[in-house]
Amino acid sequence: MAAGDRQKLLKAAMAAVRDCADTMETQAASLLQALPTVPMDAGLRAHARELSEGLKDASSRVTFESALLQAELVEGNVDIATVVQRLSGMDALMMGALAATADVVDELEKAAERDEVNERAFVLVIEATGVLLQALEQAKSATQALGAATSTGLRK
């Protein structure tokens, strides 16, 4: 693989991770704005708010870390293997934040089954989760592609 191809993979991985963090921020903000107006149990609202805050926190941390990594790349202070490791860590951080949606979705689904007034909250969270899963899959795939190229002997 040519150096230009490696650079394309590097740029794609960095962009995918940043895009995932941006998507996470957008979805969290959207949930935080919508949830107060949606009819639901106070306990569920608190769990959904905690979830949204966790997503927002994770996205902020990844945005900061990716900007720092980008600066290190520009300065030439980091090799590709380290980039892959750090991007994988960012992917894992976002996956951890997204994993928390499973419990909230389960709670909201049960609440919606008991009383359809809770259905809108369930739909909001499940739709946000779907969008986030797609973004995370793209980020992980791009990071894995860079990692595969790195493991075949490509180094900076």
* CA contacts within 13 A on the Cβ side of 117: 7
Each residue of 84-127: pLDDT tens digit? 999 999 999 999 999 999 999 999 999 999 999 989 999 999 99
Alpha helices (runs of H) in 35-155, residue ranges in sequence order: 42-75, 80-99, 101-114, 119-151
Which positions ≥6 away from 152 have C-beta within 8 Å?
1
pLDDT value of residue 3: 66
Break the chain into its structural domains and give their ranges.
Answer: 3-148
Tokens of 72: 């290190």
* Ranges under pLDDT 50 in the chain: 154-156
Residue 154: per-residue pLDDT: 43
How much is the pLDDT for 151? 78
Neighbours of 130 (CB within 10 A): 12
Crossing angle of helices 42-75 and 3-34, in 10° steps, is 150
Say which residue the tokens 């009383």 belong to. 115
pLDDT at site 153: 56
| Burial of 87: CB neighbours in 10 Å, binned 0-12, 13-18, 19+ | buried
What is the model's pLDDT at position 1?
A: 57
